[in-house]
Amino acid sequence: MKAMVFDLDGTLIDSAPDLWMAANRLMGEADLGPIDLDTLKSFIGNGIGRLVERCFAYNDQRPANLEACIARFRTLYGEGRYAHTRLYPGVRDALEVLARRGFNLGVCTNKDEAPARAILEQLAIAGQFTAVVGGDTTAAQKPDPLPLLRCGALCGATPDELIYVGDSEIDAQTAAAAKVCFMLYTEGYRKLPVEQIAHDGAFLDFALLPPLVAVLGGAKARHAD
């Protein structure tokens, strides 16, 4: 294995509080009711456009000016400066261990590339990543395999040299479409039980990821022999 690519929201970072606050500011401006945090978490994963659409649908609305509402959400989200977004426990140490082992690291997310990069910088982990591919970087978004394959290529890896780490059904579908190995972080924003999400390995603590990757690599080497 040459590279590991990570999803962002719900995998490396808990971004839901900032997305939630921006969403409720937008709902307030539209004179619509607030959305609770757990419900907002269930809207995350398909990019900002779908998140905004789901927020209005939650209030039984579909605004005629949806694109303007999406643009307004982007503004509100950026104004919050991601103040409540945090790394999940153990992420920083795990990235350092994997980088020392020679993996090229990347991020493939449906979040727009600019805020994704800003958050990585703010959390002081941007330097760990060879590539960042966002929801507006390529012509497609996950679960289409294009963004993941682009990120893997930027990290110097073919699909069979790549591990994708994510937290959701969308990430699992993306990995399957790209024909790459998939590791499931179980403490993110998934909707289904773990056993209903296809994965090659699962972990609930980032301290467990480097040893799990080592075991997977050994198993792949034995299978190749």
> Is 7 part of the annotated catalytic residue set?
yes
**Dihedral sign from CA coordinates of 166, 170, 174, 179:** positive
Confidence bin at 216 (pLDDT 50/70/90): confident
Whole-model pTM above 0.85? yes
Cα–Cα distances in angstroms (integers) from residue 130 to residues 82, 106, 159, 185, in the given order: 23, 6, 16, 21
The mean per-residue pLDDT over the stretch 81-98 comes to 98
Spatial distance between the Cα atoms of 156 and 2, rounded to a whole number of angstroms: 7
Summarised one tens digit per residue, pLDDT across range 43-56 is 999 999 999 999 99
Superfamily of domain 16-79: Putative phosphatase; domain 2 (1.10.150.240)
Q: Report in angstroms the alpha-carbon separations of 139 from 19, 108, 147.
A: 24, 14, 8
Select from 45, 36, 35 the least CA-distant residue to 10.
45
- Model confidence pLDDT, tens digit, residues 92-123: 999 999 999 999 999 999 999 999 999 999 99
| 225 pLDDT more than 60 | no
At residue 1 the predicted structure's pLDDT band, cuts being 50, 70 and 90, is confident
The mean pLDDT of 141-170, rounded to a whole number, is: 98
- pLDDT for res 219: 58
Domains 3-14+85-224 and 16-79 fall in the same CATH topology: no
Hey, what are 135's tokens?
A: 């929801």
| Answer CATH for 3-14+85-224 from 3.40.50.2300, 3.30.750.24, 3.40.50.300, 3.40.50.1000 | 3.40.50.1000
Is it the case that residue 11 has pLDDT exceeding 70?
Answer: yes
E strands within 101-221? Answer: 104-108, 131-133, 162-166, 181-185, 201-203
77: Cβ contacts below 8 Å, ≥ 6 apart: 18, 19, 22, 48, 115
Mean pLDDT of all residues belonging to the chain: 96
Amino acid at 187: E
Q: Return the SS3 of 63.
A: coil
When pLDDT is averaged across residues 51-78 and rounded to a whole number, the result is: 97
